[in-house]
Amino acid sequence: MKQVCSVLSTYTADVSGVCSALYEMGGMTIMHDASGCNSTYNTHDEPRWYHTPSMVYISALSEMEAVLGDEHKLIEDVCRAAEELHPRFIALAGTPIPMMMGTDFQGIARAIERKTGIPAFGFATNGMHSYISGVSMALEKVAERFCDPSIRPELWKPGEKISVNLLGVTPLDFSVTGNLEVLETLCEEQGFRVQSCWAMGSSWEELMECGKAQVNWVLSSAGLSLAKLLQARYGTPYVLGIPMGKDLTEKLFEELRQAAASGETPAFLCREEEETEGEGKPSYIIGEPIWAASLRYALKHTQGMKNLHILTPLEGDASLLQKGDLANAEEDDCFACFPKAEYIFGDPLYQWAIPKDSGAKLIRLPHEGCSGRMFRGEIPVLIGHYFENWFYKEMQK
Amino acid sequence: MIDLRSAEILDWSGACVSIREAQFPSPFQSGVEYAAPARGPWNIVHVGMLVPESHQIFVCAQGCLRGVVLTAAEMGATDRFSTIAVRENNVMEGDMEELILNGVEDVLRKLPKKPRAVLLFTSCIHHFIGCDLDYVYRKLRERFPDVDFTDCYMNPIMRKSKTPPDSKMRQQLYSLLHPTDKTAKAVNFLGNTTETSETSEMVQMIRQAGYEIRDICACHTYDEFQKMAESILNITYNPAAKLGGETLEKRLGKKHLYLPFSYNGQEIERALTQLAGAIDAPLPDFDLLKEKAEKALRETAQALQDMEIAIDYTATLRPLGLARLLLSHGFRVSSVYADSFISEEKEDFLWLQENYGDLKLYATVHPKMPRFPRDRAEKSHGNLLAIGQKAAYFTGTRHFVNLLEGSGLYGYDGICRLMQMMLQSAREEKDTEKIIQVKGWGCCG
């Protein structure tokens, strides 16, 4: 039955996605919730919580406030905290009960902004969608509200590095285990300069000057709407995909160079039109669409694997999927596919859906947006040539 | 990475106050709330898992499911846990009852073995849309007569009500006990997450009077759990468990005694005297027990004379009572981390106001707290002992007593054992970061 997980886990929700995206920007994010969203977020969705403080709170909504639709207390509490803490901006994110109450987040944000003079915005999240939608709307809103539309991309001159923005990077997809650092190094080695990373590791000033970049690199589905906004605002082209393995790394950097030179967004989507089905047992890749499509490309081109299909339980760009792939995959889809599979590339929590006698082998690729902190120490670096090293080790097991 | 710690230094008013100037029971103004990364206290999943051979099914939005499903996964109980995701269409179309009924049926069909009991958790959404839960449970019991169902709730919206989720959970655990005519010479401890210390006067008295002790924390099978219904007396000492005891007294007709957890000699003796009356047991030698506790306090105070002490509300049910006990025996208690206090703490609050007015009270959820410098232990050259995980986090110490809800250390014996733990924690460093981030400390044995 759809919506039922007898053994599988659930992914990070939209409200945590908003918090994750805004975490390092110096703003104050309030989840409009009674309780629970805060501990879920900072225990399972936020690896930076212990050491890097950020102003992420809940509103501590009570039954009476919900019944009476009392928004006054929320506004007063937020304004008082903002006056003491001086955040760069104020963001409100909704949860199921505010959805039931019909909370007008934009109206509340306007009232808070008028009172404090601090830019404020609201997100009508409701905890019923995945983090991808939350991260997307948060990144898009910050760019829309704060990035100077008069900035123009810097003209590239021969001999200079190409400037690139990395879009859709949060710990939910990239964790804190070294993938981002390796990617940044790889960019430098390939003749690129990272203008900004949305949203890990960059200063506010770097983010605000993202319009100067010559090309945008969408590294997860959560970065796509921002890429489209930046394209509309600055004319910056974008490229999708994660550089895993030699072939895809070369391909993506070439696409980035061409996009920067031409200003055109390439059609390449880490997919090919030819049939992916083949002889033998199918294998499945479970995860975020851009990550899964990149992994498939790398497995196919670098390792010669065939008959690889994506099962994505998350929202994302369906254009990355091919025949035999499945969007919005649920537990029953896993139960149907896994018994006949050869390999399943996915989070270790998917082990629970693999019948013991099926012969299917789980290649453990922990995903922070799925299992949170549980297997963080196992999250491999897959960027560039690290992919081949990882694959070799996996096949030795 | 942006370092928000470099932001301007705040003044800490509003998040910290001397007890002399504090209001009881809430010293701090409520508002938006922070959550410190100290995860030891048990949540409703941990507590529910105490029912042996049971299965939990949560019916909530994805965002609410995330925390509980990973709680179960982290404690290695994925096979005892399932979910039904509520989506917008279920709210709009009003098919919530069908969703729950079909979902539970689907889960039970997929499980390799039927559980003895199902703890079905609904959420705030069901509360507000007026979901007909009576109908849902009636139908479920009809469809699965061999499974016991109980209604559990993940409704944090009730957190500030007279029946907060923690109390409700500890009540519903025992709603699964079947009424029985059988009686056993046994006493139940209700609503705890740790067994009461075997060396405590209370346990000793019960055993010496020839009674068996039954506690859900020690049950390994559902049948063993059901035997709790036969016991002649139910004891609670955690305020969050009191409602469960009262409810069971009404439903099963078994006497309930609420014997409040305390560090005060008079209160301890009053509780033990009440117990003695209920089970017809002789009273222990209070003078002897008291002297033993006094000796332990004196010796520990002497050994820890250079150490500053910070206490938090997750460590003990009576943080102010503990502060009073320690201060009145020469310990250097400098601070208590708590956002509010239960009514039972009022006397200790007033005593501390009068006698140790400089004692600092720190909030734990105040919005300034994430930017609070966690360097108190460093400033005291490592001579800071925390009692509780939150105090350990906020002070930055590696010396802390990993105590939760008093950890079953009841009575004079509990005081003696706490002194031992304080001495040991003062001597040894702990990996604070690793320990306090474990959810539901001790729930996996």
Mean pLDDT of B189-215: 96
Residue B125 and residue B224 share a domain:
no
Which 183-212 residues of chain A touch chain B by CB within 8 A?
A: 200-201, 203-204
Mutate which of A39, A205, A331, A338 to disrupt the B interface (most B C-beta within 10 Å)?
Answer: A39
Angle between helices A14-22 and B62-74 (to 10 degrees): 80
Contact present, B160 and A62 (Cβ < 8 Å): yes
Q: What does the pLDDT read at residue B3?
A: 47
Measured CA angle at B389 (ends B383, B395), to 5 deg: 40
Residue type, A138: A
> Can you give the three-state secondary structure of A297-355, one letter per residue?
HHHHHHHCCCCEEEEECCCCCHHHCCCCCEECCCHHHHHHHHHHCCEEEECHHHHHHCC
Same domain flag for B316 and B261: no
Residue A160's region, left for phi above 0, alpha for psi from -120 to 50, else beta, is beta
Are both B318 and B378 inside the same structural domain? yes
- Percent with pLDDT over 90 in chain A: 85
- With tokens 């049910």, the residue in question is B317
C-alpha angle A86/A56/B76, rounded to 5°?
A: 165
Cβ of B129 within 8 Å of Cβ of A50? The answer is no
* Domains (range + CATH), chain A: 14-129 (3.40.50.1980), 162-262 (3.40.50.1980), 283-396 (3.40.50)
| Chain-chain contact of A1 with B102 (C-beta, under 8 angstroms) | yes
Chain A residues close to B128, C-beta within 8 Å: 66, 97, 100
Smallest Cα distance from B393 to chain A, Å: 9
Q: What is the distance in angstroms between the Cα of A227 and the nearest Cα belonging to chain B?
A: 22
Residues B156, A97: Cα–Cα separation, whole Å: 11
DSSP state of A32: E
pLDDT given for residue B445 in this prediction: 52
Looking up tokens 């923005």 gives: A165
pLDDT of residue B173: 95
- For residues B6 and A204, what is the distance between their CA atoms, to the nearest angstrom? 14
Give the pairing type, strands A283-286 and A308-312: parallel
Give yes or no for residue B411 having a pLDDT over 90. Answer: yes
* Single-letter code of the amino acid located at A52: T
Higher pLDDT, A155 or B140: B140
Mean pLDDT to the nearest integer, A65-91: 95
Shortest CA distance to B338 belongs to which of B316, B313, B358?
B313
Is residue A140 less than 8 Å (CB to CB) from chain B? Answer: no
pLDDT at A147 over 80: yes
pLDDT band at A228 (very low <50, low <70, confident <90, very high): very high
Q: Which of B259, B279, B299 delimits the end of a domain?
A: B279
**Which secondary-structure segment (H or E) carries B83?**
strand B81-85
Q: For an interface test with A, which of B157, B159, B438 has the most A Cβ atoms less than 10 Å from its Cβ?
A: B157
How many CB contacts within 8 angstroms connect chain A with chain B?
217
Residues in B touching A50 (Cβ below 8 Å)? 37, 433, 437
Rounded mean pLDDT, B273-288? 97
Residues in A closer than 8 angstroms to B86, CB to CB, are 3, 96, 128
A80: left (phi over 0), alpha (psi -120 to 50) or beta: alpha
CB B149 within 8 A of CB B118: yes
Task: Using CA coordinates, name the residue in chain B closest to A43.
Answer: B37
The answer to whether B14 contacts A84, with C-beta atoms less than 8 Å apart, is yes
**CB-based contact (8 Å) between A26 and chain B?**
yes
Q: Which of B318, B322, B323 is CA-nearest to residue B341?
A: B318
Query: Are B78 and B218 part of one and the same domain?
Result: no
Angle at Cα B391 formed by Cα B385 and Cα B393, nearest 5°? 105
The CATH number of whichever domain residue B385 belongs to comes to 3.40.50
- CA–CA min distance B378, chain A (Å): 16
Q: Which of B67, B69, B158 sits opposite A39 (nearest CB)?
A: B67
Query: What is the distance between the alpha carbons of residues A161 and A166, in angstroms, rounded to a whole number?
Result: 15
**A56-71 as b/e: b if 16+ CB within 10 A:** bbbbbbbbebbeeeeb
> Are A43 and B34 inside 8 Å of each other by CB?
no
**A3: CB partners within 8 A, 6+ apart:** A330, B84, B85, B86, B87, B99, B103
**Among the partner residues A26, A86, A99, nearest to B2 by beta-carbon distance:** A26
Residue B149, domain member (yes or no): yes
Q: Kindly state the percentage of chain B with pLDDT values over 90.
A: 90
How confident is the model at residue B118, as a pLDDT? Answer: 98
Residue B3, in any domain of the structure: no
Which chain B residues are Cβ-neighbours of A49 within 8 angstroms?
A: 37
Over residues A117-122, the mean pLDDT reads: 97
Are A30 and B69 a contacting pair at CB < 8 A?
no
Domain for residue B308, yes or no? yes
Question: Are B167 and B189 in a shared domain?
Answer: no
pTM for the predicted model, two decimal places: 0.95
Domain-located, residue B237: yes
B49 phi and psi angles, rounded to 5 deg: -65, -10
pLDDT at A275 > cutoff 70? no
Does A276 score more than 60 pLDDT? no
Number of domains into which chain B is organized:
3
Q: Which pLDDT value is given to residue B1?
A: 46
In a domain, B313, yes or no: yes
- For residues B414 and B393, give the distance between their C-alpha atoms in angstroms, rounded to a whole number: 24
Residues B219 and B248 in one domain: yes
The Cα–Cα gap between A336 and A166 comes to: 36
Residue-wise pLDDT tens digits, B287-314: 999 999 999 999 999 999 989 999 999 9
Question: What pLDDT shows up at residue B6?
Answer: 45
Determine contact, residues B126/B152, Cβ cutoff 8 Å: no
Considering only the beta carbons, identify the residue of A3, A12, A16 that sits closest to B85: A3
Measure the CA–CA gap between B13 and B22, rounded to whole angstroms.
Answer: 12
- A52 vs B1: CB contact, 8 Å cut-off? yes
Chain B partners of A4 at a C-beta cutoff of 8 Å? Answer: 82-85, 103, 106-107
Q: How far apart are CA B445 and CA B434, in angstroms?
A: 17
Q: Which residue of B has its CA nearest to A72?
A: B31
Are B310 and B409 part of one and the same domain? yes
Query: Does residue B2 lie within any of the structural domains?
Result: no
| DSSP H helical ranges for chain A | 14-22, 37-40, 63-68, 72-85, 96-101, 105-116, 131-146, 171-174, 179-189, 204-208, 224-234, 245-262, 289-303, 331-337, 368-371, 386-396
Distance CA B445, CA B249 (A): 29
Query: Domain check: are B97 and B156 in the same one?
Result: yes
Query: Which residues of chain A lie closer than 8 angstroms to B31, CB-CB?
Result: 60, 77, 80-81
How distant is the Cα of B169 from the closest Cα of chain A, in angstroms? 15
Could you report the per-residue pLDDT of B217-233, keeping only the tens digit for each? 999 999 999 999 999 99
B124 is in which domain, residue-wise?
44-176
Assess whether pLDDT exceeds 50 at residue B436. Answer: yes
- Residues A321 and A327 sit within 8 Å (Cβ to Cβ): yes
Residue B221 domain flag: yes
How would you class A351 by CB atoms within 10 Å of its CB: exposed for 0-12, middle for 13-18, buried for 19 or more? Answer: middle
pLDDT tens digits along B351-410:
999 999 999 999 999 999 998 889 999 999 999 999 999 999 999 999 999 999 999 999
Query: Touching check for A262 and chain B: CB below 8 Å?
Result: no
Please tell me the distance from the alpha carbon of residue A322 to that of residue A289, in angstroms, as a whole number: 11
> CA-nearest residue of chain A to B368?
A85
| Mean pLDDT of the B308-329 span | 98
Q: Is A91 on the interface with B (CB under 8 A)?
A: no
Q: Are residues B198 and B244 in the same domain?
A: yes
Residues A48-63: what's their mean pLDDT?
94
**Terminal CA-CA length for chain B:** 38
Interface contact B64-A55, CB threshold 8 A: no
Largest CA distance in chain B: 68
Cβ of residue A39 closer than 8 Å to a chain B Cβ: yes
| Chain B touched by A86 (CB under 8 Å) | yes
Say what the pLDDT of residue B4 is: 53
- Among the three residues B176, B211, B241, which one is the final residue of a domain in this structure? B176
The neighbouring-strand residues paired with A364 are A346
The reply to whether residue B107 touches residue A6, judged by beta carbons under 8 angstroms, is: yes
Nearest by CB to residue A10, choosing from B83, B88, B125, is: B83
Mean pLDDT (whole number) for B89-115: 95
Residue B122: which of B165, B44, B56, B58 has the closest Cα? B58
* Residue B192, SS3 per DSSP: coil
**Residues 6+ away with beta carbon under 8 Å from B210:** B185
Specify whether B139 is located in the same domain as B188: no
Give the pLDDT mean for A105-115: 97
Q: Does the pLDDT at position B8 exceed 60?
A: no
Among B66, B96, B110, B433, which would you mutate to test the A interface (most chain A Cβ atoms within 10 Å of its Cβ)?
B66
The CATH number linked to B246 is 3.40.50.1980
Hey, are the CB atoms on B63 and A127 less than 8 Å from each other?
yes
Q: In sequence order, what DSSP letters do the residues of B326-386 get, joined into one string?
A: HHTTT-EEEEEE-S---GGGHHHHHHHHHH-TT-EEE-SSSTTGGGS---HHHHTTT-EEE
Across the interface, whether the CB atoms of A96 and B111 are under 8 A apart is answered no
The per-residue pLDDT for A395 is: 84
Does the distance separating the beta carbons of A78 and B106 come in below 8 Å? Answer: no
What percent of chain B has pLDDT above 70?
A: 97
For residue B60, list chain A residues with Cβ-Cβ distance below 8 A. Answer: 96
Which chain B residues touch A19 with a CB distance below 8 Å? none
Q: Is A314 on the interface with B (CB under 8 A)?
A: no
Same domain, B150 and B68: yes
Task: Choose from A35, A73, A103, A194 for mutation: most chain B CBs within 10 A.
Answer: A35
Instruction: Decide which of B150, B176, B202 is a domain's last residue.
Output: B176
Cβ atoms of residues B86 and B123 within 8 Å: yes
Residues of A in contact with B160 (CB under 8 A): 62-63
Q: In this structure, are B428 and B292 located in the same domain? A: yes
Q: Are A172 and A135 in contact (CB under 8 A)?
A: yes
Would you say residue B304 lies in a domain? yes
* Joined tokens for residue B287: 């003078």
Task: At B210, list the tokens.
Answer: 């020839």
- CB contact (8 A) between residue B78 and residue A11: no
Give the separation between CA A253 and CA A242, rounded to whole angstroms.
10
